[in-house]
Chains A and B, each alone.
Chain A
Amino acid sequence: MSDTPILSIRDLTAKVADEDIDILKGVDLDLFKGEIHAIMGPNGSGKSTLTKVLAGHPGYEVTGGTVTFRGEEILEMEPDERSQAGVFLAFQYPVEIPGVSIANFLRTALQARLDEGDELDLFDFQDDLMARMEMLEMDPTFAERPVNDGFSGGEKKRNEILQMAMLRPTLALMDETDSGLDIDALQVVSKGVNRLHEENPELTILIITHYQRLLNYIKPDRVHVMLDGRIVRSGGPEVALALEAGGYEEYRVADAAEAAEAARGS
C-alpha cells in the first residue's frame, strides 16, 4: 500500500440540490489502494448520499470540502468523466431503461472508454460478457433483455455487479448491494465481488450497508459508522460486529454528548 490514499475525502458537506439543509456535514475519509471499506449507519445518516455525491449525481449539491481521487480533484467532473476515471457506483435502486438491451448498453459504455477512432472488438466483448454472466450465474438470454426492465430485485443487483465486472473500475462504490437479496443471491453477488478483487487486488471498494450480513462474505479492512452526516467511528471488522450486537444507540448518545460539549464550548 502506498502512502497516498487513492480516495481522499476532506470535510465534505452536501445537500439535496433544491433544499437548504446539509445531509453530509463534514465527512473525512481516506481509502488506500486495494482496501475494502464499509460504511454502516441507520437510515437517513447520509451514507447513500455520500456515494451519489462521489459519483456526481446532479440532484445533489456540494457545499464544501474536497474529494481527491488518484490525486485529482473530482467534484467538478461530470458523472461520465468520473466513470472514465475509474469510479463505479453500484446503485441501490438500479434504473430501468426500457428498449435498451444490457449488451447494447455495455457495448456503448465500453466503446465510450476508447479513444476516438478505436473500435471495440465485438468478439472479445461477447466472450467477456458471457464469462462474466456465467460467474454471476446469470442466464445468457439476459444480455438481450432491456436494462433492469421487469427485473426482480436480485436480478437488478446481479446486473450491477455484471456492469462492474465489465467496466473494470479502480474504485467501486456499492450502495446497499445487499438490500433485497435472498441468501443465495447474496452469496453469488459476494462471490463475484471477491473474485473481482482477487483478479485485481488494486480494486478499492467502499461498501454501504445496514447489516453485518454482507460483511460475512466480503471482508472489510476498515468499518466506519456514519451518523447524521458524519463518520463518528472507524475501526476494524470488530466495529461491525459490535454494531450488530449493540445497534447505533451508543453512538447516538456519544454524539449527543459531544454536541452538548461543543455547545458549552461556544
Chain B
Amino acid sequence: MSETTIIDQPIGGLMEGITDVLNATAVATLSAGEPSWLQERRAEAWSAYERTPMPTTRLEEWRYTNLRKLLKLERLGFDGIALDAATPADEGFELASAPERLRTAMEADREASGHLVEIDGRVVHVDLDAELAAKGVVLTSLRQAVVDHADLLKEHLATNALPASRGKFQALNAALWTNGVFLHVPRGVRLERPVRVTRYLTEGAAGSAFFNRTLILADAASQVSFVDEGLSADFDRQTLFSSGVEVMARDGAQVQYVSLQRMGRGVFHLQQQRTLAGRDSTLDTLNVSLGASVARTDLNAQLLGPGANSDMLGLCFGEEGQHFDHNTSQDHVAPHAKSDLLYKGALDGNARSVFRGIIKVHKGAQQTDAYQTNRNLLLSEHARADSLPNLEIEADDVKCSHGATVGQLDLDHLFYLMSRGLSRTQAERLVVLGFLGEVLSRLPLGGVVEKVTRIIEERLQQG
C-alpha cells in the first residue's frame, strides 16, 4: 500500500487561522458595550493572534500534534457573541432538568463552597456559601466581574499570568472569550470545601467554537481548592472548546486547581493554564484528561517567591481515536522553591499521548528542588506515547531530576493477579487503576479521586 506524499505547505501567511467567523469583526462585536480597557485588550490580543503564525510540527512544542490535520478552524461556527451578552448569571437553572451527563456529574459533588454552571458558553447558575460571601469571597461570571470588579480584572485579566503574548491560542482566547469564572479569595480566608465549576456543551453546540476564561486570585494566607469539570455530548463535527486559566497564589496562600476534562468525542479541547506562586505559597494542579478527541493542555507553573511549592499532577486515560498532548513547564524564578511533577497516562486502542515537559531554573534560583516524572502504560499494541522531558538550568546549587517511561502491561503482573482468580479484565483494571491511582493519591481532594476512579473503572469494564 502506498501512501500519498503530503507536501508541507510553506509556513502559512500571517493571517493564518482567520476565518469567516473568527475574525476582527467578531472581536469588535464582542467588545461592543465593554469598557475601553477591555476593548483595547481584546483588540491587542487579536492583533497578536494575527501576527503569530499557526504552530506547525516544526516547532518542538507541537512536534507530535499536527494542527493542519487535527484542527479545522475554518469549519467552526462562533455563536458566542449572540449567546452570552453581558447578562448576569442565573436564569433559573434547575439541576433536575439539566442534561443527564451534567446532572450525574453534579450530583456526585456533595461538598462544595459554591458552584458555577456554564452551558454552551453561558453562565446559567452561580451560588456561594453566604458566610463566605460575607467574608468577601467573590465567585461570579467573568462578564459580571468586568462590571463589579473592574479594578481587579483590569490589573490581572490576561496580563500577569496568561497574556496574549504567550502564544497563538492564548491570544485567540484572550481576544474571543465570551464568559468564564472569576474567583477572589481575600486575605486569610480559608475555604474548607472546594469551589466547583461545571461546564457543559449540549448537542446544539456541534461544530461551534467556545472560548472561556478562568481567573483565580487567592490573596495572602488564603486557602481554596477549585474543581473545574468539563463535559459534553458526543459530536459528529469538530467542536472547539478553549479554556484560558489564570491562577495566582499570593504570599502563603494555598491553592489547588483541578481540571477534570470529560468532553465527548468530536471535541478539540484546548486548555492554556498558567499559575503564579508567590512567597511560601502552595499552588498545586491536577489535570485529568479523559475525554475529547483531541486535547492539548499547556501548563506553565511560575515559582515566583522563595518557599513556593507546586505539585503538578496529571493523568490521562485514552481509548480508540483519542489524542492527548500535555505540554508543561516548571519555571523557577525565585530561589528555595520546589516543584514536583508527575504525569501518568494509560492508553488503549490506538490512543496517542504526547508529554513534553521542561524544568527551567533561572539564574539566581538557587536551592531549587524540581522534579519531573512522566510514565505511560500502553494497553494495546496500537497505542503510542511520546515523552520529551527536558531540563534547562542556569543556577548551580539545585536538585533536579527528570525521567520518563513507556511500558506495556507486564505478562508477569497479569499472571500473578490471574493466578489469584482474577479474570484478565479484572487484572488489567486493577493494574491500570493502581498505576493511575498513584497520581490521585497525591491530591486527595473530596470526591475527585472517587469520581475519576469510577469513570476509569466503567470504561475498563466496557473495554
Contact = CB atoms under 8 A, between A and B. Distances in A.
Interface of A: 55-59, 78-80, 82-84, 88-89, 91, 94-95, 97-100, 104-105, 108-109, 112-113, 146, 163, 167
B8 interface: no
Contact of A97 (B413, B419, B436): B413
B423 interface: yes
A82 B414 CA distance: 14
A205 B421 CA distance: 18
B364 interface: no
Contact of A108 (B412, B416, B430, B436): B430
Main secondary structure of the interface of A (DSSP, over half): mixed
B26 interface: no
A104 B427 CA distance: 12
Nearest to A149: B434
A57 B433 contact: no
Q: Which 4 pairs of residues, A with B, have the shortest CB-CB distance? A: A99-B434, A100-B434, A83-B421, A79-B418
A143 to B, nearest CB: 15
A130 to B, nearest CB: 19
17 contacts: A55-B415, A78-B418, A79-B415, A79-B418, A79-B419, A80-B421, A80-B422, A83-B418, A89-B419, A94-B416, A95-B415, A97-B413, A97-B430, A100-B431, A100-B437, A109-B420, A146-B434
A116 B415 CA distance: 23
Contacts of B418: 56, 78-80, 83
Contacts, number: 82
B437 A58 contact: no
Given A58-B411, A100-B431, A112-B423, A95 B416 contact: yes
A168 to B, nearest CB: 11
A109 B413 contact: no
Given A58-B411, A79-B415, A97 B431 contact: yes
Contacts of B441: 99
B363 interface: no
Label chain B's interface by main secondary structure.
helix
Interface string B390-432: 0000000000000000000011111111111111101100110
B192 interface: no
Contacts of A57: 415
Contacts of B416: 91, 94-95, 97
Contacts of A163: 420
A8 to B, nearest CB: 21
B433 A95 contact: no
Contacts of A78: 418, 424
Nearest to A91: B416
B430 A80 contact: no
B409 to A, nearest CB: 12
Contact of A83 (B414, B420, B433, B437): B420
B421 A84 contact: yes
A104 B453 CA distance: 14
Contacts of B434: 97-100, 146
B310 to A, nearest CB: 23
Given A80-B424, A112-B426, A95 B431 contact: no
A18 to B, nearest CB: 12
B411 A167 contact: no
B435 interface: yes
B438 interface: yes
A104 B418 CA distance: 15
Given A80-B421, A97-B413, A112-B426, 7 more contacts: A79-B419, A80-B423, A82-B419, A95-B412, A97-B430, A98-B435, A100-B430
B426 A55 contact: no
Nearest to B344: A99
Given A112-B423, A112-B426, A100 B411 contact: no
Nearest to B436: A99
B421 A113 contact: yes
A88 to B, nearest CB: 8
A99 to B, nearest CB: 3
Nearest to B438: A99
Contacts of A59: 411-412, 415
A108 B457 CA distance: 13
A113 to B, nearest CB: 6
A95 B441 CA distance: 22
B430 A105 contact: yes
A55 B414 CA distance: 13
Contacts of A108: 422, 426, 430
Contacts of A89: 419
B217 to A, nearest CB: 35
A228 B429 CA distance: 39
Contacts of A56: 415, 418-419
